[in-house]
Amino acid sequence: MSDKPTDANQQRSVEEVQAEIDQTRRRLTENLAQLKQETAPQALVARAKAGAAAVFVDPQSGIVRRERVIAIASVAVGLLIVRRGLKARAHKRELRRLSEVVWVPVPRASVKPELIPLAREAAELAPAAPLALTAA
């Protein structure tokens, strides 16, 4: 095979190649500058704000979309109610657990007669005596 190109399009001068390299370098520089500008924190914040505003405001007329605002507010209120309910449920569960664990000594005379069979004796709840280790 010969080293010489046969096609007219492949025969380019050094100036043409250099001009193409310079043009490619300029395009690359412009693209990098554009990417840097688009990924700047201020640009990202502005884009996020515009996207959020577009959800609640009609871009063509500039009127607030009430149905979307009401829907988001309803969801937020619903989540708060569910959260409060779950916290109350956990609180009740904890109180129930504590009522089984905590023992408050009460004089026998102040206990209702129907609850006396359920009342615990102090001896039941007293800590076990420590084991005495004796040297054998």
In DSSP terms, 90 is beta-bridged to none
Percent above pLDDT 90 for the chain: 34
Q: Is the dihedral of CA 81, 86, 87, 91 positive or negative?
A: positive
pTM of the entire predicted model: 0.40
The domain spans of the chain are: 14-64, 66-103
Structure tokens at 113: 């007669």
Residue whose C-alpha is closest to residue 105's, from 93, 123, 90: 123
Cβ 55 vs Cβ 68: under 8 Å: yes
User: Comparing 18-27, 53-62, 85-94, which segment has the lowest mean pLDDT?
Assistant: 53-62
Question: Which pLDDT score is estimated for 51?
Answer: 85
pLDDT tens profile 38-50: 889 998 999 888 8
pLDDT tens profile 37-83: 888 999 899 988 888 888 888 878 888 889 999 999 999 999 999 99
> Is 65 exposed, middle or buried, given 0-12, 13-18 or 19+ CB atoms closer than 10 A?
middle
Question: Which pLDDT score is estimated for 1?
Answer: 44
DSSP 54-122: HHHB-TTT--B-HHHHHHHHHHHHHHHHHHHHHHHHHHHHHHHHHHHH------GGGS-GGGGGGPPPH
Question: Which pLDDT score is estimated for 62?
Answer: 84
Q: Mean pLDDT, the chain, as a whole number?
A: 80
